[in-house]
Chains A and B, each alone.
Chain A
Amino acid sequence: MLRLLTAPLVLTVLVMQSIRLALGQIWANKTRSALTTIGIVIGVASVTAVIASLTGLKAKVLKDFETLGTNKIYVNPDWPREGRFRNFNWRVIRFRPEQFDGLLERCPSISNFTMMTNRSKKVSYGIHSIDNARISGINPSWHEIENRSVILGRPFTLMDEENGWQVCLITPAVRDELRLDLDCIGKRIIIDRRSYRIVGVVETRVESGMFGQMGDSKEVFIPFPTAWRLWDPWMYIIAACRKPELSQEAQAELKFFLRQTRHLQPDDPDTFRMDVIEEYLKQFNTMAATMTAIAGGVVGISLLVGGVGIMNIMLVSVSERTREIGLRKAVGARPSAILLQFLVESVVLCLFGGLMGIGIGQGLTTLISKIPNAHFLSMAYIPLWAIGISFGFAGSVGVFFGMFPAIKAARLDPIEALRHE
């Protein structure tokens, strides 16, 4: 009865004692242990570094998306794939500002929207010029939607719109390139042969590694009605929903609203397209998962190689300690106890390798995050689950490759073992 009750305790103490013995064994053969576990170390180090890089990349992308805004819906005119609009002229398909009258009243999930046009034009001030500055026509609500404030001067107002004034906002990069004074408010620059008065300087968008084109810093903004009046009338809108969770409803409302204002028949397909950042995010996640899987495969091979090393050294250990095994059997260790002892030793050896691997992986990660010109890796870090997985894999390798030597030890004949020199 007492034997039954103490059985789990006996097992625990056996394991604890085996761990202590294994640590002693590793300590006594430091060089050998280090060389043996090198496969595991490299495997774990590379898997943690790869995961850290991917995690960093993902964090960076997420942060970029956040600055872009996850609550934004881009609405562009678009040709449907079928139906009567398929081959229609762009003049029919395009948006017109009046199609958006009353949008905010009719779409309660949308907090704000701005009409947009984009052009590349030559901008000049005196003898200095920029050949292809990005010129955008915007509504005053743009500041709020894009979350970009004015660092000097003032933002656009309804007055600018209603009066159709030729005013503009510029980014610091434009100011520098045109050799304007630091305080350039009130100066006039030439855009496409017309003169615009600078009313404010808009902060540069946070540099985005993934979306270089969007991070284009030489930007000039003019009121949307002005742009609409002067240039090719092709426009799109950016709408912001009240909360990211409301994205689906906001899209449905927009769709319903636009189908009405664009006079689409019930069986007509949409003549516009809505894009949400979330979609891109999903695609990125799929890609990251694929990369992790590939990295995992590579690491699996190195763990396999490492495991063979472990098996080899465990076989050496078993033959070195044959007399010890014989003695333990003589004093009553059952085959299962011997098996346990050597399995624990192999697992401890592998976990020790895993620990070193994580250490080296952390070092690699620090190095990676410091690579110049690779901003997208600057946020690399090892997530907790990766440490768990590394240890899990190292432990499994220990069990798997330690099994054969341990079985060999457990099956030794005690008489033979005690006679072993």
Chain B
Amino acid sequence: MSMMPTSRDDVVIRLSGVARTYKVGVESIHALKGVDLELRRNEYVAIMGPSGSGKSTLMNILGCLDRCTSGTYELDGRDTTRLSSAGLARVRNAQIGFVFQAFELLPRLNAIKNVELPLIYAGGEGWLNRKARARETLTKVGLGERMKHRPNQLSGGEKQRVAIARALVNRPSILLADEPTGNLDTRTSLDIMALFEQLHQEGQTIIMVTHEDDIAHHAKRIVRMRDGRIVADELTGSNRQIATVAPAT
């Protein structure tokens, strides 16, 4: 229940009372037990929590890969709860960019083809200009020189940059990163975090799931979860002053 006065246009994500229950045999597992969360445009949030805390489930629901059992999820002011699987696919395509821990690049396609992939399924203007858009986005993440390389010819950091370019190419409302540095060494992790910071400066909304504290502290806001509930929601470092002005929960 955010008390913070926000204009409706400014809210990208609004979860209210979101619960997710899995049925395993006769047993029900309550992965999320009523989550309320509001994210504004250009926020940079890290979601943290031990395994089993429900952060992956939350991530899946935010990414429209999964539906909540109860509650509502509004993305860009639109309720996604009742969408068909094709409708969800369209939302994922147009409004969400995924970055995964294991990059998930298609091995047989070169960098530019991998980046083009969301546009292939998009149609419309993005589809028409897919080559130019892919090239432009790859240049933005600093891989302008390696467009024709296949994933096996790229380093881990470069692979993740290709994956980030793929996530951004269709200009999504949110960038969803699931342990984006989990497979990278410290130096490369910092490079990726620097890229995230740059994207944040340019106005991109970023949600990042991580269990590493120092990675999480690159974000401006940290949401902590435990047992399917949000237990803490705070601003980080230099943003703390604002936190006193804007109570998070």
Contacts and interface: CB of A to CB of B under 8 A. Distances in A.
B100 A334 contact: no
B66 A415 contact: yes
A327 interface: yes
B125 A333 contact: no
Nearest to B92: A332
Contacts, number: 76
A347 B89 CA distance: 25
Interface string A9-22: 11001100100010
B121 A418 contact: no
Interface of B: 60, 63, 65-66, 85-86, 89-90, 92-94, 98, 100, 104, 106, 108, 117-118, 120-125, 127-128, 166, 170
A6 interface: yes
Given A21-B108, A415-B60, A418-B100, A332 B122 contact: yes
Given A332-B89, A332-B93, A327 B104 contact: yes
Given A6-B128, A9-B127, A331-B93, A337 B121 contact: yes
B92 A336 contact: no
A2 B90 CA distance: 15
Given A28-B108, A330-B65, 6 more contacts: A3-B123, A7-B123, A10-B127, A331-B166, A332-B118, A332-B122
A186 interface: no
B127 A335 contact: no
Contact of A332 (B60, B90, B128): B90
A324 B106 contact: yes
Interface in A179-193: none
B127 A334 contact: no
A23 B117 CA distance: 18
On chain A, which size bracket covers the interface?
20 to 34
Q: Nearest 9 A-B pairs (CB), nearest first?
A: A332-B93, A3-B124, A331-B118, A334-B89, A2-B124, A327-B104, A3-B123, A332-B121, A334-B86
Interface string A270-308: 000000000000000000000000000000000000000
21 contacts: A2-B123, A2-B124, A6-B127, A7-B123, A10-B121, A13-B120, A21-B108, A327-B100, A329-B65, A329-B92, A330-B92, A331-B121, A332-B89, A332-B122, A332-B170, A333-B121, A335-B85, A336-B86, A414-B65, A415-B60, A418-B104
A262 interface: no
B106 A327 contact: yes
A259 interface: no
Contacts of A329: 65, 89, 92
